[in-house]
Amino acid sequence: MASLTHVCMWSENGWKRITAEQASRLHPGGTVSAHSGLFMCELCGQYVLLTDGAIKKRYFKHSRYEKSKDCPERTFGSGYSISYGSQEHDLPIRITSISASSFSFEIGLIRAPINFLDKDFCIEIKPKGAFDVSYVFTKERLNYGSITYLSIGEKPFEKYTLSFQHGNDKLHEFWPAEIKGIDPEGTLFEKVSGKKLSYDADVEIGKEYYLLKRGYLYRKSCSNMQIQEIIQKRIEWEIWTLYVVSASAFNEDAARFFLDFHCRLTDRPVSLQPVWPLFVEGNYIVKHNQNSMYLLVEGNVAAVKTFPYVTIRRLNYNSSYSKLYEVFCSGRQQLISAGRAQALQYTYFWKEPLDQVRLCPEVSVIDITGAEVDPGETDILPRNKTLRFKSTFDGELIISNNNHVVDKRKLSIDKYTELDRLSYGLTVQVVIGLDVIWKINFRKKQPIAIPDIILNKPGKLTEEEFEIMKQITNVSGTTIPAPHSLRNMLVGMNCYPQVCQWIRKCIKRGTINEQSYRRLQETYRSMNTNR
């Protein structure tokens, strides 16, 4: 029997491809079972075994006890070549409207050529296995020039079907007929965007993710993993639990935690970035007007593909991390993807003039008197602790306290939404799509701390010296090595004995706050200018 050819083993640098011959040298005797967790099939994310070699040459094979029997190498045989078509690109699903007791989901329809379709065109999204649930949207609900997120309710489903009336089958090149949904055994989402991670997606150290799981996560203690339960929600007869998870270090325990949910911990996430010529970038869309585009691909990528097929030429063979490609764009819409066993990142190149002018989202924020309120940080609460918001697009108000979201409010186009009971410590954001277009922080003004060096000084400080001491001591931020120029300042500012005493301490210590040094510089220059 031929050995599996897409097998990885954990190393200090992450999951690395390994052959049966290499594995045999590392483990010279006996069968290495799948339960050992030593070898992983990168096509299906399951552990595989290494045979003992008693009868035949040692080889990798899948265990008969695997949960899933859908690995491509089981179906198509060993040596299966990684390939995927336009239908295998998942539409983005995101978790949204997260509160203390609830959440919901949206499916994103990427831009497609629908502007020429019949006015009676409509699209239906239906959870697979739910006969009495469907979501129908008319042509007017869809954006012609960008991604459209459509609500698909609060209950998670494993798969969704997508169909349309009065449409064109060519649309399935953009919107697959079947969409992968939420795996009840555990699905990961980016915490900031809410976007669901695809199968075999990369996860990064220090980045927070949502983990949604039916039932409970029993593996809550894991080295270098932070796991916080935030929501338990009953949906019919089932309990679903939402966690926030993150890895603090790049180690095997953390990597295996994410592997259980079909994602790979890496310090080299896969990315696609167009670099030249001029283009306009949006969600899954790059608008350009050239016959070829230059694209930078980073991370652990096994394949870069185009659909329909066009010539793609790699330009730098000396770099293993960043790969530069030239993509020849033959048609108006060109799909570009990068992946391993599946497409992990993709975008559409749209060839069209770049002279369009689009309206930017605008938001009006007023207090109860009608006075306009500016964004930023403020120590003044509005009248009656109330603000009113109105936007030119549908959006969302996100209210947080110490970086923890405490409330969310829908913002409807051209309608005022009132937010009351505002208090110090709150941050309010107006979000349109994935963009924060307005933000305010309410922070109580802190009294200026007077350093002991000033309070305990014998005698009276002049008003001028008091002000200098306040500027150089009431600071925060990084420290730098004490520059030689401090000695010149010590001589030139001898009229300020307490300032000089403070400078001497910095010289003796060998460091100084960078902000303090800049302020001293300004004061010293000002003194020399005025002499």
Torsion 433-182-196-397 (CA) sign: positive
**Which stretch of DSSP H or E encloses residue 5?**
none
Average predicted confidence (pLDDT) for the chain: 81
Please tell me the distance from the alpha carbon of residue 116 to that of residue 96, in angstroms, as a whole number. 31
Q: Where are the domains of the chain?
A: 7-76, 86-180, 187-265, 271-351, 363-442, 452-530
Residue scoring higher pLDDT (321 or 504)? 504
Would you say residue 217 has pLDDT above 80?
Answer: yes
Does residue 398 contact residue 408 with C-beta atoms inside 8 Å? yes
Give me the CATH topology for the region 363-442: Immunoglobulin-like (2.60.40)
- pLDDT above 70 as % of the chain: 87
- Outline where 425-509 has alpha helix (H): 452-455, 463-473, 485-492, 497-509
Q: What DSSP line would sit under 255-314, residue for residue?
A: HHHHHTTTEEE-SS--EEEEEES--EEETTEEEE-SSEEEEEEESS-SEEEEES---EEE
Same fold for the domain at 271-351 and the one at 363-442? Answer: yes
Q: Tens digit of pLDDT for each residue in 354-375?
A: 765 556 778 889 988 888 888 8
Please tell me the distance from the alpha carbon of residue 337 to that of residue 306, in angstroms, as a whole number. 6
Cα angle value 124/127/131 (rounded, 5°): 90
Q: What DSSP line would sit under 302-346, residue for residue?
A: SEEEEES---EEE---S-SSEEEEEEE--SSEEEEEEESSSEEEE
* Average pLDDT of the segment spanning 341-362: 72
Please tell me the distance from the alpha carbon of residue 15 to that of residue 36, in angstroms, as a whole number. 15
* Average pLDDT of the segment spanning 228-247: 90
Please tell me the distance from the alpha carbon of residue 245 to that of residue 253, in angstroms, as a whole number. 14
pLDDT at 88: 60
Q: Which CATH number fits domain 271-351: 1.10.10, 2.60.40, 2.80.10, 1.25.40?
A: 2.60.40
pLDDT at 446: 62
Q: Tens digit of pLDDT for each residue in 418-455?
A: 999 899 889 999 998 778 889 999 988 665 555 555 55
Would you say residue 351 has pLDDT above 70?
Answer: yes
Please tell me the distance from the alpha carbon of residue 364 to that of residue 346, in angstroms, as a whole number. 36
Torsion 18-336-284-151 (CA) sign: negative
Q: Taking the complete model, does pTM exceed 0.75, yes or no? A: no
Would you say residue 123 has pLDDT above 60?
Answer: yes
Phi, psi of 501 (to 5 degrees): -60, -40
Residue 95: which pLDDT band, with cuts at 50, 70 and 90? very high
Please tell me the distance from the alpha carbon of residue 129 to that of residue 466, in angstroms, as a whole number. 74
Residue carrying the six token digits 């003194």: 527
Q: Tens digit of pLDDT for each residue in 162-191?
A: 888 887 777 887 888 888 899 998 999 998
